[in-house]
Structure 1
Amino acid sequence: MPRGVRKVNNKDQEIVQLKEQLEKWKVVAARSKAEENEAIRKLNLEKHLHRLATSRRGRYKYAFRRRQALVSKLNVRSLQLNADLNLFKSCSDKRTAKRLINEEHKLVIKYKKKMLEAQAVVRRRQEQTEQEKKPWRFCELCDMEFQDTGIKTPHVLYCGHTFCQECLVKIAGDHEIRNTLDAVNLRCPFDHRFTRGLSTEMNKLPKNFTVLHM
């Protein structure tokens, strides 16, 4: 075989080997790229999970601190109540115990009065802004505004309707059905349901505080 032909054949074989080697490297490179992408995906997943864990830890830490603060307040309140209880127990003098109870009762009434006054101020401002009074603050029969005391006190029947004391007295006088125990079966003028076994005193009906304080 001529020397030139032999050299050409050797070059062809080298080219073929290089192509085969190149294809192998391409496969290895593709596999490495896939492994790299998988590693990046896992790394991003780990970062995401780490952020979630950090966020949850922050929320749990905040909730734990709030619970600790609440427990501390409850413990302080419990100590105060125990101290008050021990004080009451130690009061052999009934007058002293009664005085302490009356002072506590006056304090409760004072705060309740302040709360009602604040509600009244808010209600007046809201009515001034809207230029109208709330319809539920008026008796549906006489169209007069309910009051905290007196004949315009709102009382609720067993059926759920609310009327002022004056209108209930009138209803009882017009539609009362008395039994042997001198009780009144009062009939609602709207749904005609009876409030049975009612005492003849209308102020014994439950007072509707909701319509007064809304």
Structure 2
Amino acid sequence: MAPRKKQQVQKPTIKNDQVQKLTKEKKELEQKLKEALKQVADIQQENEQRRIELLGTYREMRREFDNRTRQIVQSIESVNKSLKNAEGRAQKTEKQRQILMRTKLEQEQRIAFLNDCLHEKKTHKMVEAERRKTEMSRKQMLKAQKELREIQEGKEGVSKPWRQCEICGEDYTERALHMPRVLDCGHTLCQTCIKRLAGDEGVHCPFDREVTIIQKSRINTLPKNFAVLHM
């Protein structure tokens, strides 16, 4: 069997005009690539400038914001301080108002007291005048009763029995020794006889044996029997 012959592959041949065309296209592509790279660089540079501008604007706005915030904080602190001062003044004013109210009340009470004193003085003067008038009438009445009693006793020649102490027989007088004193039981004796009858337990009435509890040193505090003196 006879061997096969190898077929030779023929390489394509490129003509000069095609080479020139490809070279031209390559140059055009390279030119476009350069232009694109330049545009990219310009865009990057523009973006960088824009970024720098934006960063500057941000920093400026940040400074303005910080300044504004600081001013607001200072304003708030100033307002709080003013409120505290106003509150302090209000408290001080309230204290002053309370002091004025107390002073006013004290003045009103003082005026009322002075009016009462003035009214009391007038009343006291009226009462005192009436008392003096009554005392004068009483003295005149006692004087008339005494004169009448002396006239009656002068006519009859003896003293009335109710004007004499039933123990010692002495006439009752307004002097301390024979002042008529009333015991708790209602009987009347002169002060001297009551002192004689007084013991540790008190005074035993000689008529009904009722005890009047009183110290011997306080006999003069027993009630006086004015009816006996003025009859």
Over alpha carbons, which structure has the higher Rg? 2
Question: TM (normalized to structure 1)?
Answer: 0.49
Question: TM (normalized to structure 2)?
Answer: 0.46
